[in-house]
A and B are shown apart, each in its own frame.
Chain A
Amino acid sequence: MTDTTFLEYVVFFSAAVMILGGAIGVIALKNPVHCALGLVLTLFGVAVQFVAMEAHFLAAVQVIVYAGAIVVLFLFVIMLLGVDESIDLSIEPIPIQRPLAAVMAVGLVGLLGAAIVRAQDALVINPGSGIDTATATGNNDANIQQLAANLYGDHVFAFQLTSVLLIVAVAGTVLLTRKWPRDAGSPDSVSKNQSSDS
């Protein structure tokens, strides 16, 4: 049991270092490509924490959708626009913005941390209740079966609405990024004719 406990701590702290290191990389690195790679590190760390909490389906979706699709989309846009060059981070457009943002971040962690520490007595672990885990039930598909029953049972209407959302998002993006013909009278071509300073 102590071996398992030690291993759990190792997994938690390595994944925490991945998450926080990747997040700091996103906000501190100059090259946008490096920022995207820091984001990948963070997303994989979150996937590891999902596995540690026995949310196996969400861990798989996290890797496939976030680290796969979304980061690839980011990298694609970076390469497409050719903005993969270093940014000068010493320029500070609004003079006191960075100290104020730092105060906000530290205050946010302080407030949330105080609330979590205060509520620690209420956070009594009650394992095996309500959520079927693979270790508790011995069924390796327990998590995905329970999630599917919940998703397609209680939340089936919301699930169907997400398909509408995705269709609208895809159609809207095609409309936004389409190159209109110059004489089509679209809002795009009108503003193109008016803008002489850009």
Chain B
Amino acid sequence: MIAAIGTSSYLLLAAALFAIGAFGLLVRRNPLIMFMCIELMLNAANLTFVALATQLGDINGQTAVFFVMVVAAAEVVVGLGLLVSVLRRRPGATADDLAELKG
């Protein structure tokens, strides 16, 4: 299991995944793909939680991952609902087009 690899390898992998997600969130302009990048960052955090739960011998880390998954599911539902109602009115809108708060 974790003994041969070491916790720091998992943490480095999670750091790389988080950085890729953050880069994508800043660079991409399609709101759907920005949501996917947020999912990448959430998964990096989950990976860190599980690695450190194993490292520290504390099951609370895995429970935290469970709650993160529930909140991520709720967040995706609300976010995609917003996106559907925005893009139904103005198809092909990017994040820059939504900068002004007018209908």
Contacts and interface: CB of A to CB of B under 8 A. Distances in A.
Contacts of A105: 19-20, 22-23
A4 B4 contact: yes
Nearest to A170: B77
A125 B1 CA distance: 11
Contacts of A52: 1-2, 5
Contacts of A125: 2-3, 6-7, 55
A24 to B, nearest CB: 6
Given A127-B1, A127-B2, A87 B16 contact: no
Interface of A: 4-5, 8-9, 12, 16, 19-20, 23-24, 26-27, 32, 35-36, 39, 42-43, 46, 49-50, 52-55, 57-58, 61-62, 65-66, 69-70, 73-74, 77-78, 80-83, 87, 93, 97-98, 100-102, 104-106, 108-109, 112-113, 116-117, 119-120, 123, 125-131, 133, 135, 143, 146-147, 150-151, 154-155, 158, 162, 165-166, 168-170, 172-174, 176-177, 191-192, 194-195, 198
Interface of B: 1-13, 15-24, 26-30, 32-33, 35-37, 39-40, 43, 46-47, 50-51, 53-60, 62-63, 65-67, 69-78, 80-85, 87-92, 94, 96, 102-103
